Amino acid sequence: MSAHNITNNQTFKGVRVSSSPKLLMNLNLASMAAGATPYGLVADAAIAVDAGKVVWCGARDGVPSEFDSWQRDDLEGRLVTPALIDCHTHIVFGGNRAREFEMRLQGATYEEVARAGGGIVSTVSATRGASEQELLNAALVRVDALLAEGVTAIEVKSGYGLDVDTELAMLRVARKIEGERPVRVKTSFLGAHAVPVEYKGRADAYIDEVCIPALEKAHAEGLADAVDGFCEGIAFMSAQIERVFEKAGELGLPVKLHAEQLSNLGGAKLAAAHGALSADHLEYLDETGVKAMAEAGTVAVILPGAFYTLRETQAPPIELFRKHNVAMAVATDCNPGSSPSTSLLLTMNMACTLFRMTPEEALAGATRNAARALGLSDTGTVEAGKRADLAVWNVEHPAELAYRIGFNPLHSRMFAGAVS
């Protein structure tokens, strides 16, 4: 019997399907539990799943007798890992930037692209001009690509509306994804992503008149799980980000930050001072910033897709993150400009090849540490008490997941105990 026969036990699109306890057998487990290295590997393991959760896992010969009567599913020797988590995406947006890609390849500068109507501004107009249904339909195509690789949770940012109504619309669309697909969505309000043309040269006024009012509204409507910003010369300075973070603090929302992507403005340090869940990109981060993150327990989200697309040459300080025990996550940064990627597996490969992360760090980065970057404590590892968010792979060893290029060995995906 294959894993596909496991009975659903979730509410999805309003349909409640009864739960029945299951014992998954004949599998190799990479639990990715903290401290259990390498990979938390258990050969010939079993996993007991009930009511959407893992209730027991370990070596097959240690299965407690209380599970003797449970239905068994034979996974035919496949590898089971925690399902993947993409903890940094801008997956809701209008249009695309393929034309800009062509122009850049023909030698056009960023400025020329912008003058020709390209760049982030073009995504803002396309997003403002799209209906919520259009935004949702376009996002779902990209979401499906992630789910096909065993993803069960994604973070989705606003930040291509840059006016109150469209920022809220983006977050509403992000929320709707959960009703359309078996996936968990965590939203981040990213009003401080760029200065829109109508506020050119008036970034402070934009923060006061648009960003903060939009954040208050998004919070009042329950649309924001966290608050993000882009701290960079071409976006917002740290004093401006700080005002947004102070508002987040007043509203009781956790923060995260795009920091040190193109230069070092002390963004990660600022984020750490606000107890940020994560600081993301970090190519230009120095050791002081790494230490600040370590003290605050802020996760470093590594985004190799943007590094690759922008042909960046400065790698993030991986060795310093190791030295100071900063947890590293890995994410697609799916966005139409700097990382038009919907493959978390390819991202894991890039993290290894471009940044010399180990395949184990890459997998931890797309599971356990990605969960932490989203403030999710009930997923990201395979352990008793955690949600049964699992990925079943046609591979023998977990290093294969980051090793291959453009190959998807997913056999099946379990979302809160339901195969989908």
Residue 190 CB, nearest distance to Fe ion (Å)?
8
# residues near ligand DI6 by CB under 6 A: 11
Which residues on neighbouring strands pair with residue 377, listed in sequence order?
Answer: none
Nearer to Fe ion, 63 or 194 (CB): 194
Is residue 230 a contact point for ligand DI6 (CB under 6 A)? yes
Is residue 312 a contact point for Fe ion (CB under 5 A)? no
Is residue 86 a contact point for Fe ion (CB under 5 A)? no
Angle at 360 between CA 354 and CA 361, to 5 degrees: 55
Residue whose CB is nearest to Fe ion in the complex, by number = 333
Residue 275 CB, nearest distance to ligand DI6 (Å)?
21
Q: Which does 100 bind (CB under 5 to 8 A by kind): Fe ion, ligand DI6, none?
A: none
Contacts of residue 415, Cβ cutoff 8 Å, sequence gap at least 6 = 10, 83, 152, 182, 183, 389
Asked if 344 and 333 count as a contact pair (C-beta separation under 8 A), the reply is no
Instruction: Give me 134's structure tokens.
Output: 């259009």
Interface pick for ligand DI6 out of 261, 367, 379, 412 (rule CB under 6 A): 261
Q: Say how far apart CA 242 and CA 267 lie, in whole Å.
A: 10
- 301: helix, strand or coil: strand
Per CB under 6 A, which of residues 64..123 are in contact with ligand DI6? 120, 123
Task: Point out which span in 64-72, 214-222, 312-320, 330-338 binds ligand DI6 (CB under 6 A).
Answer: 330-338
DSSP 317-341: -HHHHHHTT--EEE----BTTTB--
Nearer to ligand DI6, 28 or 335 (CB): 335
Q: Which amino acid is at 134?
A: E
Peptide bond before 398: cis, by omega within 30 degrees of 0? no
> 10 Å Cβ neighbour count for 111?
9
Q: Which of 295, 296, 314 is nearest to 304 (CA)?
A: 314
Q: Say how far apart CA 30 and CA 80 lie, in whole Å.
A: 6
Is residue 336 a contact point for ligand DI6 (CB under 6 A)? yes
Q: Which does 22 bind (CB under 5 to 8 A by kind): Fe ion, ligand DI6, none?
A: none
Q: Say how far apart CA 412 and CA 5 lie, in whole Å.
A: 11
Per CB under 6 A, which of residues 298..327 are in contact with ligand DI6? 306
Is residue 9 a contact point for ligand DI6 (CB under 6 A)? no
Is residue 333 a contact point for Fe ion (CB under 5 A)? yes
Per CB under 6 A, which of residues 143..172 are in contact with ligand DI6? none
Is residue 271 a contact point for ligand DI6 (CB under 6 A)? no
Nearer to ligand DI6, 182 or 336 (CB): 336
* Binding stretches for ligand DI6 (CB under 6 A): 120, 123, 193, 230, 258, 261, 306, 335-338
